[in-house]
Amino acid sequence: MSRFEGHAPGPWRVGYSDGSGPACITRVDLNALVASVGHHGDPELCRDMTPTEEANTHLIAAVPRLLAQRDQLAEALRKVLGQCRESGNPQTYENARAALRAVEGER
């Protein structure tokens, strides 16, 4: 199991459907809290979010979409690996292997 499997399904958004909770990341389908940034979702404290907290909130909300794109990229890299194996292009093969390891979170 990858370190990303088992997360709450997306899509996610910043805030709740009524516009509250600017530091909260919620599931669109259930309007349920997934995570919070900074002031633990306290609406009174969230009015003064720092630019970093606000950016982090939007980045976290994008995670399900980014993971889906990562999976598509990994599949494309696997196809490149197969083609390189067949064509005997060792440099492109090694580059694609390194890229796939990075995409899949290996070091």
pLDDT tens per residue across span 17-38: 888 877 888 999 998 889 888 7
What are the residues whose beta carbons fall under 8 Å from the beta carbon of 80, sequence distance 6 or more? 92, 96
- Flag whether pLDDT at 59 surpasses 50: yes
CA distance 17 to 103: 33
Does pTM surpass 0.85? no
Distance (Å, whole) CA 8 – CA 30: 11
